[in-house]
């Protein structure tokens, strides 16, 4: 049962990713991204990471995709500025293909060679909000505080960028 | 449930700088743009953080730790000092030019200080999560700083390019970290080393992870072939930002690079040191050869900084304590000489200009002899000519590589130093021996911007170069250039002051 | 129970697709979406490793949580940058016009 579920969901996730990459219109890309994110949330719950699954929906699907859509609507999907204006795209595509294939081959080798012998262990609600909260505010307190510094940087940055350029 | 005891002294330098960043934001909001006050707070805080780092490194006994997340050992603290050097010089350079291009001076200093917090934390981090978050803090802050000149479209485009490639590199780094986690079941650097000590359970995954980590760091320190953002971002960013990030980002990224690879992955060293040796060789060669052809100063220094990342990587390839110490020494020397060189560029820059054509150096020794002398010192030092800091940096890095059996890499490095001598010394020759261009009235040239100049400058200095003096040298810029020149000379004359200290400090990461 | 390797293959597939998207698209927003795909592939890896290799710990999930926070911050800054560029490109033309007059 779980296997069937995995296949269906994996297919959906990959379809979403393909949609993100291939659709010409940025709005469709964003919607495909939403599909991908939502499916991943289900995977997290299957993997006993319930809290992460919920956060995935709230932050990724709820905030990030909406932000993307908002910006796309604001400036028009076709009008978005070119990322890397210089140079032909063909070398980049070749590099992309090679890199993707190498990544796949590397993992496939790792799997075939039996290097990744999966172990299963007993789970006692390790994905619960309680467990995460306890570890987050004890062992991982420094990263938590660093994340707040990071958000401060992002906030200042957004304010700086949002102001209209004025020449003094 | 017991709450953990936190030894916050470990992060004393970071906390000082973070407090100053918040203070700058508050003061900026209260009193409007009092530029000198904001710069003053930043300078005092940075110097205090440097002093705190030195004080901490002089404490006897085992280095203090913050849980299993961060450590205040000599290695981290000396890298803090390198970052402070670059940041202090960066603030001094910014004092004159940033208010000219933006009204958000407070945000500028705050972001710079927050970037410093991230950089300092990278060197101290003992956990992949902390490394990653620190990397992101400094990266996000620098993306915005690179685009700070909002009236110059190329600054914004440089910023976007830097952001997209940087985000891409972070994603690679993360994938690598995830695979290392999968191979070792741990995120703590020491626990990773312990897990690998008995042989890896899944070597394929581990090596793939290491490869991706190298790609991620390679982007940040600009190793070829992950350097392509540098030639666009360095000239596009405001010069004080370029000066700061060229030295400080390299220091921070190499600090984490060294600690991660030498503390957590020493068992895989035969593999990664080969990969890095090839990257270092290619980086040195390509950086120097490309720098030969540049007619504009910031772009030339951008390629030269790529080459210097290659030299520093040679020390990492050696993989010994000697090598790690050499990288630290190299980056300290680099902070002085490279920020100094960019400081001279900032002094020559005109308002609204994209890059400084090399033709403008002609006759600088007559117009501004002190500035020309400082630039000559930086160029000699970047080449690696004896009495200056850069020479000893290269000497120690190459010496460590030879001691570790990387003779061929050192041969390539030395050949590259000879190549680089050509363009560095040419700058000096232009300043001292090239005739100043005809002193045509500046008014005719005033409206023209860099593009026309770049074309005209190729065969001989264009007539509109030479005169049209930039804004008079401000005291802050002069102080930065002077301090950088003094540092370059002092380290060069008395390297022994540092070497013993550094040798002791780097023991902690093994 | 779904084996670990399947999750890893799924993550690798998403990584490859994100990589392709980030490298092959000209549109800055699309590139950013490609990067987001890679970050999600990372998160699948982290959570799956956490579940299968160290089920008693939550460090992988915590890492994934921070990746998520960083992704949000990155998206905010990135999109702000894109809007800022979009604006300056409009003003570029205006400045050119001014230069012509002067």
ipTM: 0.88
Cα–Cα distance for residue pair C11/C40, rounded to 1 Å: 8
Tell me if the domain spanning C4-101 has CATH number 1.10.287.3510: yes
pLDDT in tens, chain B (510 residues): 677 788 888 899 999 999 999 999 999 888 665 788 899 999 999 999 999 999 998 888 788 888 889 998 889 999 999 999 999 999 999 998 888 888 888 899 999 999 999 999 999 999 999 999 999 999 999 999 998 888 777 888 888 889 999 999 999 999 999 999 999 889 999 999 998 887 777 788 899 999 999 999 999 999 988 888 999 899 889 999 999 999 999 999 999 999 999 999 988 888 899 999 999 999 999 999 999 988 889 999 999 999 999 999 999 999 898 999 999 999 999 999 999 999 999 888 876 677 788 878 888 888 888 899 999 999 999 998 888 999 999 999 999 999 999 999 999 999 999 999 999 998 888 888 877 664 443 433 434 333 343 333 334 433 344 444 556 778 888 899 999 999 999 888 888 888 888 888 888 777
Task: State yes or no: pLDDT of C98 exceeds 50.
Answer: no
- In the stretch 24-53 of chain B, residues with CB closer than 8 A to chain A read 25
Q: Supply the range of the domain harboring residue A74.
A: 1-79
Domain ranges of chain C: 4-101
Answer whether residue A74 is part of any domain: yes
Q: How many CB atoms lie within 10 A of CB A129?
A: 13
> What would you measure as the largest C-alpha separation in chain A, in angstroms?
66
- What pLDDT is stored for residue B368 in this prediction? 86
Which DSSP symbol is given to A125?
A: S
Length of chain C: 102
Note if the pTM is more than 0.90.
no
B257, B125 contact by CB (below 8 A): no
Q: Which helix (H) or strand (E) holds B65?
A: strand B64-66
Nearest to B509 by CA among B271, B313, B266: B266
Alpha-carbon distances, residue B178 vs A145, B195, B209, B264, C48 (angstroms): 22, 15, 7, 14, 10
What is the distance in angstroms between the Cα of B185 and the nearest Cα belonging to chain C?
6
**Cβ–Cβ of B128/C63 closer than 8 Å?**
yes
- In the stretch 198-237 of chain B, residues with CB closer than 8 A to chain A read 201-205, 208, 232
Cα–Cα distance for residue pair B363/B422, rounded to 1 Å: 19
Answer whether residue B1 is part of any domain: no
Q: Which of A71, A137, A162 to mutate to test the interface with C (most CBs of C within 10 A)?
A: A71
C5, A118 contact by CB (below 8 A): yes
What is the distance in angstroms between the Cα of B174 and the nearest Cα belonging to chain C?
7
- What pLDDT is stored for residue B447 in this prediction? 40
Which residue from C17, C29, C74 is facing A18, i.e. has the nearest CB? Answer: C17
**Cβ–Cβ of C63/B150 closer than 8 Å?**
no
Nearest to B154 by CA among A85, C4, A78: A85
Burial status of residue A14 (CB atoms within 10 A of its CB: 0-12, 13-18, 19 or more): middle
Pairing of strands B64-66, B70-72: antiparallel
Question: Residue B68 is encoded by which pair of tokens?
Answer: 């299993």
Cα–Cα distance for residue pair B414/B286, rounded to 1 Å: 14
**Cβ–Cβ of B170/C70 closer than 8 Å?**
yes
Cα–Cα distance for residue pair B281/C102, rounded to 1 Å: 50
Contact with chain B for residue C14, Cβ under 8 A: no
* Closest chain A residue to C3, measured at CA: A118
Question: Residue A20 is encoded by which pair of tokens?
Answer: 């993100």
Alpha-carbon distances, residue B255 vs B51, B167, B421, B504 (angstroms): 19, 20, 28, 16
Cα–Cα distance for residue pair B187/A34, rounded to 1 Å: 30
Which residue from B140, B150, B447 is facing C73, i.e. has the nearest CB? Answer: B140
Tokens 């971002």 sit on residue: B233
Number of H helices, E strands in chain B: 20, 2
In sequence order, which ranges of B58-202 are alpha helices (DSSP H)? 74-101, 105-124, 128-146, 153-184, 189-197
Collapse the DSSP code of B403 into the 3-class scheme (helix H, G, I; strand E, B; otherwise coil) and give the result.
Answer: helix
Contact with chain C for residue A46, Cβ under 8 A: yes
Answer whether residue B27 is part of any domain: yes
- Long-range contacts from B207-210, C-beta under 8 angstroms, 24+ separation: B207/B268, B207/B271, B208/A103, B208/A106, B208/A107, B208/A110, B208/B176, B208/B179, B209/B175, B209/B176, B209/B177, B209/B178, B209/B179, B209/B180, B209/B182, B209/B183, B210/B176, B210/B180, B210/B265, B210/B268, B210/B271, B210/B272
Answer whether residue A98 is part of any domain: no
Q: pLDDT digit string (tens) for A48-87? A: 888 899 999 998 888 899 999 988 888 765 555 555 443 4
Answer whether residue B273 is part of any domain: yes
Compute φ and ψ for A82, nearest 5 degrees: -65, 145
A104, C16 contact by CB (below 8 A): yes
Length of chain A: 168
Cα–Cα distance for residue pair B437/B458, rounded to 1 Å: 14
Cis peptide before B450 (omega within 30 of 0): no
Which residue from C53, C58, C72 is facing A119, i.e. has the nearest CB? Answer: C53
Nearest to B215 by CA among B166, B266, B151, B152: B166
Answer whether residue A41 is part of any domain: yes
Answer whether residue A147 is part of any domain: yes
Task: State yes or no: pLDDT of A130 exceeds 90.
Answer: no
Answer whether residue B449 is part of any domain: no
Nearest to B467 by CA among B494, B492, B497, B444: B444
Answer whether residue B455 is part of any domain: no
Cα–Cα distance for residue pair B111/A73, rounded to 1 Å: 30
Number of domains making up chain A:
2
| Terminal alpha carbon distance of chain C | 74
Q: Which of A145, A152, A159, A162 to mutate to test the interface with B (most CBs of B within 10 A)?
A: A152
Residues with Cβ < 8 Å from A35, sequence gap 6 or more? A12, A13, A15, A16, A19
What is the distance in angstroms between the Cα of C42 and the nearest Cα belonging to chain A?
11
B344, B407 contact by CB (below 8 A): no
Cα–Cα distance for residue pair B220/B235, rounded to 1 Å: 17
* Closest chain C residue to A97, measured at CA: C20
Answer whether residue B472 is part of any domain: yes
**Cβ–Cβ of C84/B164 closer than 8 Å?**
no
Cα–Cα distance for residue pair B62/B143, rounded to 1 Å: 37
Which chains reach chain C with 3 or more Cβ–Cβ distances below 8 angstroms? A, B
Number of domains making up chain B:
1
Q: Supply the range of the domain harboring residue B487.
A: 8-437+462-509
């Amino acid at each position: 049962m779980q296997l069937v579920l995995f296949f269906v969901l994996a297919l959906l996730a990959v379809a979403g990713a393909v949609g993100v990459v291939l659709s010409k219109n940025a709005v469709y890309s964003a919607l495909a991204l939403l599909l991908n994110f939502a499916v991943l949330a289900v995977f997290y719950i299957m993997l006993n990471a319930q809290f992460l699954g919920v956060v995935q929906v709230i932050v990724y699907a709820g905030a990030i995709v909406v932000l993307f859509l908002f910006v796309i609507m604001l400036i028009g999907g076709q009008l978005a500025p070119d990322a890397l204006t210089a140079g032909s795209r063909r070398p980049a595509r070749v590099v992309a293909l090679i890199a993707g294939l190498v990544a796949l081959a590397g993992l496939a080798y790792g799997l075939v060679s039996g290097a990744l012998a999966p172990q299963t262990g007993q789970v006692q609600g390790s994905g619960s909000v309680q467990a995460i909260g306890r570890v987050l505010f004890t062992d991982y307190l420094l990263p938590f505080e660093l994340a707040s510094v990071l958000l401060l940087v992002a906030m200042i940055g957004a304010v700086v960028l949002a102001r209209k350029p004025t020449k003094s | 449930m017991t709450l953990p005891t936190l030894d916050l002294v470990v992060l004393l330098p970071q906390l000082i700088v973070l407090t100053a960043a918040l203070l700058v934001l508050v003061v900026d909001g209260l009193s409007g743009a009092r530029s000198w006050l904001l710069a003053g707070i930043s300078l005092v805080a940075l110097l205090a953080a440097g002093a705190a780092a030195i004080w901490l490194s002089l404490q006897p006994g085992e280095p203090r730790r913050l849980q299993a997340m961060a450590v205040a050992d000599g290695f981290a603290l000396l890298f803090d000092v390198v970052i402070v050097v670059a940041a202090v010089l960066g603030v001094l350079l910014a004092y004159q030019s940033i208010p000219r291009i933006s009204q958000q001076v407070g945000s500028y200093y705050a972001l710079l200080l927050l970037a410093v917090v991230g950089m300092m934390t990278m060197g101290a981090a003992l956990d992949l999560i902390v490394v990653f978050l620190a990397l992101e803090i400094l990266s996000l802050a620098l993306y915005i700083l690179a685009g700070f000149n909002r009236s110059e479209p190329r600054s914004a485009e440089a910023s976007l390019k830097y952001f997209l490639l940087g985000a891409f590199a972070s994603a690679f780094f993360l994938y690598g970290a995830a695979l290392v986690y999968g191979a070792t079941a741990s995120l703590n650097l020491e626990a990773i080393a312990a897990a690998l000590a008995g042989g890896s359970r899944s070597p394929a995954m581990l090596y793939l992870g290491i490869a991706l980590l190298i790609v991620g760091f390679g982007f940040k320190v600009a190793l070829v072939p992950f350097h392509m953002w540098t030639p666009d971002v360095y000239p596009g960013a405001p010069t004080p930002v370029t000066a700061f990030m060229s030295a400080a980002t390299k220091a921070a990224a190499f600090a984490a690079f060294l600690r991660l690879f030498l503390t957590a992955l020493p068992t895989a060293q035969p593999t990664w040191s080969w990969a890095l040796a090839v990257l270092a060789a290619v980086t040195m060669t390509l950086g120097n050869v490309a720098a030969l052809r540049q007619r504009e100063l910031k772009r030339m220094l951008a390629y030269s900084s790529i080459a210097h990342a290659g030299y520093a990587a040679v020390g990492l390839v050696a993989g010994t304590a000697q090598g790690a110490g050499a990288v630290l020494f190299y980056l300290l020397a680099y902070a002085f000489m490279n920020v100094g060189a960019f400081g001279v560029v900032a002094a020559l820059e005109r308002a609204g200009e994209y890059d400084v054509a090399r033709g403008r150096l002609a006759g600088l020794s007559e117009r501004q002899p002190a500035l020309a002398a400082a630039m000559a010192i930086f160029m000699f030092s970047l080449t690696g000519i004896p009495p200056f800091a850069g020479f000893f940096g290269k000497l120690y890095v190459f010496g460590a590589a030879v001691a570790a059996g990387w003779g061929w890499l050192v041969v390539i490095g030395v050949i590259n130093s000879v190549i680089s001598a050509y363009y560095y010394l040419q700058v000096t020759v232009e300043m001292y021996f090239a005739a100043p261009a005809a002193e045509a009235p500046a008014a005719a040239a005033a409206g023209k911007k860099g593009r026309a100049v770049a074309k005209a400058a190729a065969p001989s200095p264009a007539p509109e170069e030479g005169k049209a003096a930039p804004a008079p040298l401000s005291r802050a810029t002069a102080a930065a250039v002077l301090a950088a020149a003094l540092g370059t000379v002092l380290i060069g004359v008395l390297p022994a002051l540092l070497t013993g200290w550094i040798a002791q400090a780097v023991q902690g990461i093994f | 129970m779904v084996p670990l390797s399947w999750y890893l293959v799924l993550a690798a597939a998403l990584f490859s697709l994100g990589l392709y998207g980030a490298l092959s698209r000209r549109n800055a927003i699309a590139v950013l979406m490609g990067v987001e795909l890679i970050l999600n592939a990372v998160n699948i890896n982290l959570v799956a490793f956490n579940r299968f290799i160290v089920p008693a710990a939550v460090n992988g999930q915590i890492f994934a949580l921070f990746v998520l926070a960083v992704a949000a911050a990155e998206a905010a800054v990135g999109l702000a940058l894109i809007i800022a560029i979009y604006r300056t490109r409009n003003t570029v033309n205006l400045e050119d016009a001014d230069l012509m007059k002067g």
